[in-house]
Amino acid sequence: MRTAIIAGQGRLPAALAAAMAEPPLVAALDGFAPEGITVDLTFRVERLVPFLRALERDGIGQVIFAGAVTRPRLDPALLDEATAGLLPRLMGALQQGDDATLRVVIELFEEFGFKVAGVDEVAPALLPGAGVLAGAMTPRDEADAARAAAIVAALGGVDVGQGAVVAQGLCLGVEALPGTDALLAQVAEIGALRPDPARGRGVFYKAAKPGQDRRIDLPTIGPDTLRAVAVAGLGGVAFEAGSVICLDLAGMRRLAGELGLFLWARG
């Protein structure tokens, strides 16, 4: 069964393709090309049905979603008749939030006969299991991670975000639509409002949303995340073991050591 990666921006599609036994077809949403990999097919949401039929003609039986996208602006002039019939369904899901939108996207691909696989099925090594991967935590760090995990679980329950920063029990920021980079940049600018770092520098925590469909939009971190955490003055990164994709784990472990950060897959 031939596989297609439905790719968005970032390095995850390339990392996923490198971990697969056979080269996949790479299809990218227009305007959201991935890094480090050649795109075989570009598509637009307004032409979704012709795109799905093109995948059928290419012998694709399985698809994997990988990479970052934001909600594209739709051009009604580009709609074909078949896709126009799906638009009310898509628009209704968009108004309910990201999770609802992704559920409908999965349903549409399945209705056309494609198996939708998750990254953890195809490349499980990209999602580390429980353990301390670099550095060491203090009891304060562990308590901050537990507090952040509770916050992320609450946020995920209302489909808001997958990350939070906590220092000495205080929430310094939560992830929303702008994403991880914006959250960590915001924390870097907090200044005098943050507690004395001598008593605990704080932790950035990342996790999947409660009940999230693991076939799409699993959280991802990488070396750039660690650099942003260091700039934000935090002590390290904790994440939900088995549910967060790590890009270049070996490089992340080395970089964490260089930056004096801990890296913890929290079980």
Which pLDDT value is given to residue 99?
Answer: 64
Which pLDDT value is given to residue 97?
Answer: 62
Which pLDDT value is given to residue 104?
Answer: 85
Average pLDDT, integer, range 189-207: 92
Mean pLDDT of the chain: 92
- Tell whether pTM > 0.85: yes
Which pLDDT value is given to residue 35?
Answer: 95
Indicate whether 266 pLDDT > 90. yes
Instruction: Give percent of the chain above pLDDT 90.
Output: 75
Q: Per-residue pLDDT tens for 89-132?
A: 877 776 766 667 778 888 999 999 999 999 999 999 999 999 99
Three-state helix/strand/coil letters over the chain: CEEEEEECECCHHHHHHHHCCCCCEEEEECCCCCCCCCCCEEECHHHHHHHHHHHHHCCEEEEEEECECCCCCCCHHHCCHHHHCCHHHHHHHHHHCHHHHHHHHHHHHHHCCCEEECHHHHCHHHCCCCEEEECCCCHHHHHHHHHHHHHHHHHHHCCCCCEEEEECCEEEEECCCCCHHHHHHHHHCCHHHCCCHHHCCCEEEECCCCCCCCCCCCCEECHHHHHHHHHCCCCEEEEECCCCEECCHHHHHHHHHHHCCEEEEEC
Which pLDDT value is given to residue 98?
Answer: 63
CATH number of 2-122: 3.40.50.20
68 pLDDT band (50/70/90 cuts)? Answer: confident
User: Per the CATH hierarchy, to which homologous superfamily does domain 127-266 belong?
Assistant: LpxI C-terminal catalytic domain (3.40.140.80)
Q: Per-residue pLDDT tens for 155-177?
A: 988 888 899 999 999 999 999 98
Average pLDDT, integer, range 241-257: 96
Residue ranges per structural domain of the chain:
2-122, 127-266
